Structures are given as structure tokens and as C-alpha cells.
Amino acid sequence: KAGVTQTPRYLIKTRGQQVTLSCSPISGHRSVSWYQQTPGQGLQFLFEYFSETQRNKGNFPGRFSGRQFSNSRSEMNVSTLELGDSALYLCASSLFRALQETQYFGPGTRLLVL
Amino acid sequence: AQTVTQSQPEMSVQEAETVTLSCTYDTSENNYYLFWYKQPPSRQMILVIRQEAYKQQNATENRFSVNFQKAAKSFSLKISDSQLGDTAMYFCASMRVDSNYQLIWGAGTKLIIKP
């Protein structure tokens, strides 16, 4: 069974632009969570989607948004990019919310904002 | 709010030795999970081991085991017979088991296994 895939793997943007990252969960998994990883702040929870609905959101500004499609694929969008948005963005999937204790992570998308 | 603390930024041991990574956490919840994740240089985050807080028995996965001290809110990871492939960042994390399914992460420990 294929693992969690994230596209693109690397991205370079400039301040003020917007970006969309994609995550395809493991087949059959319905829950997708997003995390931001930076050297300074470490790993921080962005949001969680289940059955096309955002169930939980971390402490990030409204510039960070996401959505989930009927096939459980998820996208996250960051508008008006800032230098501090440079990070590795990790997506994780799990079968159901109640089984979120087993999350499987994708390889991440490394975003560089210039 | 939940917090997770890893006090060892970096550790290194010789191959085949045993190493213990420390983790302490703070939570007011009674029902929660604790995890150790491994992130090798390739960046793919991998679950190493997990522990349900209501279970007194320490979790074990092959060469990996935990020492879960609930009263002390301590959750250390022991790696026995360490291998070169164990070189990675190790993150301790906790998760409340309620409507708020999010992982709270420690800052990580960089583990280097030397040949």
C-alpha cells in the first residue's frame, strides 16, 4: 500500500505570494493533519481534517487555510507569504479520528520564502 | 495546556551500546497517548513506539522500549544494541484523547550512532 505522498517536495516563493500544498493520504485513511516544522519553533500543529470538515485548528493566522476533498486528499494554502513561513510542512494521515494515535507521515514539502 | 520537554538536544553513542532519551510532559488529562517518533536525515517521520496512559505496562517494540512513569510525567525511550540506522532526530509527543486530536511535540533530540 502506498504511503502518504506530498507534492511538491520543494518550493521557492517570494514574499506576498500564495502557495498551495497537496497531501494524498494512505488509501482508506480519512483523517489528515498538517504540521509545520521549523528550526526555531519545532513542530507545530496546523489543522486536522476528517470527512471534508476541519475538526481542529492550531494557533496560526488566517493566512493558513486548508481543505479536504471527498477522496480524502487534502490541500493547505498559505496566502501573503512571509519570510517566517519558510518551513517543512508535514502531512499525516490516519484511518479514523478515533485512531489518530497512529499517524503516518509524508516526506514533507520544503517551502522557502525569499 | 499540554507541554512536552526534551532536555537533551544532542546525544551520541557507539554502535551496539544502549542509549536512553529523556522526555517529560505536563498534562491535566487522565486519558492521553505518548509517542516517540524518529525523523532520519531523509526527513520521513516514523512512529517508533506509543504508550497509552491508562496502561501500566511499558511498551516495547523490538530494540525500543519505554520507561513510563505516570506520576512523574516521564516517558523515556531506551534503544538497545544501537545501530547506525538509528541515527536520527527523535521527537517525543503527546496527544489528548478527546475531541482535540493533535500531537504536541517536544523539541527533539539529535541522536548520532558512531561506528
Express each pLDDT in A15-70 by its tens digit. 999 999 999 999 999 999 999 999 888 999 999 999 999 998 999 999 999 999 99
- The reported pLDDT for the residue numbered B90 is 97
Q: Which of B103, B104, B109, B110 to mutate to test the interface with A (most CBs of A within 10 A)?
A: B103
pLDDT tens readout for residues B61-75: 999 999 999 999 999
Q: Are A110 and A63 in contact (CB under 8 A)?
A: no
Nearest residue of B to residue A50, measured between CA atoms: B101
Please list every residue in chain B whose beta carbon sits closer than 8 Å to the beta carbon of residue A107: 42-44
CA dist., res. B27 & res. B25, Å (int): 7
B46 or A101, higher pLDDT = B46
Residue A108, CA distances (Å) to A104, B1, B35, B103 in order: 12, 27, 20, 17
Of B43, B95, B106, the CB nearest to A100: B95
